[in-house]
């Protein structure tokens, strides 16, 4: 999925600003689809507007900057629906945590344990956030997606909890010298 398709997917449900598209693509349900920066969202919105897939209007607020609100057109809705027929690309997964884990043998065991505990806590918070999203009125497909995400996170938590001892055992034990920093 490209950034234009992500923008159309968000606009499919409601009119929003570019800022709100960025926020929705980093928090909430859309955060799990495609990573989008401001530097990619606004050019995508401009191309979509030039193509007639979205429109925009200025919204003036007293005491705050004017907002540019984007809306999807019927042509944009069709473009988005047609894009769903495209072959799916591979999921992209990158993780600083896994880089840390790969080099656990260079680190003190206490630090490795601390990072593993922090990872578990962060994942539990993320899973809790997904469960909170389920409290809002949602489409059945949104519920499925949120439950899928919660399950994947749960598997990661369980794996870390049941295998953390292996990674800690690879780490430098306290009585071993650590290379100078």
pLDDT tens sequence across 83-132:
999 998 888 888 999 999 999 999 999 999 999 999 999 999 999 999 99
Q: Decide if 72 contacts 80 (C-beta within 8 A).
A: yes
pLDDT tens sequence across 48-88:
999 999 999 998 888 888 899 999 999 999 999 999 999 98
Q: Is 25 exposed, middle or buried (0-12, 13-18, 19+ CB in 10 A)?
A: buried
Q: Which domain holds residue 28?
A: 3-83
Q: Looking at the structure, tell me whether residues 28 and 65 fall in a common domain.
A: yes
Q: Which of 37, 55, 83 is the last residue of a domain?
A: 83
Task: Take residue 20 and report the two structure tokens written for it.
Answer: 């709100």
Task: Take residue 66 and report the two structure tokens written for it.
Answer: 């004017």
Residue 34's pLDDT is what?
75
pTM of the model: 0.78
Do the domain assignments include residue 15? yes
Q: Decide if 47 contacts 4 (C-beta within 8 A).
A: yes
- Please name which of 111, 104, 113 lies closest in space to residue 171, comparing C-alpha atoms: 104
Task: Take residue 153 and report the two structure tokens written for it.
Answer: 């996170």
């Amino acid at each position: 999925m490209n950034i234009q398709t992500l923008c159309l997917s968000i606009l499919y449900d409601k009119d929003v600003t570019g800022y709100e598209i960025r926020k929705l693509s980093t928090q909430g349900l859309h955060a799990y689809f495609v990573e989008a920066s401001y530097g990619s969202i606004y050019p995508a919105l401009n191309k979509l507007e030039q193509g007639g897939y979205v429109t925009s209007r200025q919204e003036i607020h007293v005491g705050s900057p004017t907002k540019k609100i984007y809306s999807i057109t019927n042509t944009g809705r069709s473009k988005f629906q047609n894009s769903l027929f495209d072959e799916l690309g591979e999921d992209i997964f990158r993780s600083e945590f896994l880089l840390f884990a790969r080099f656990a043998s260079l680190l003190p065991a206490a630090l490795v344990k601390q990072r593993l505990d922090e990872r578990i806590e962060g994942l539990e918070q993320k899973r809790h956030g997904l469960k909170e999203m389920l409290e809002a009125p949602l489409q059945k497909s949104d519920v499925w997606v949120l439950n899928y995400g919660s399950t994947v996170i749960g598997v990661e938590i369980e794996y870390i909890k049941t295998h953390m001892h292996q990674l800690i055992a690879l780490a430098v034990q306290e009585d071993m010298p650590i290379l100078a920093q």
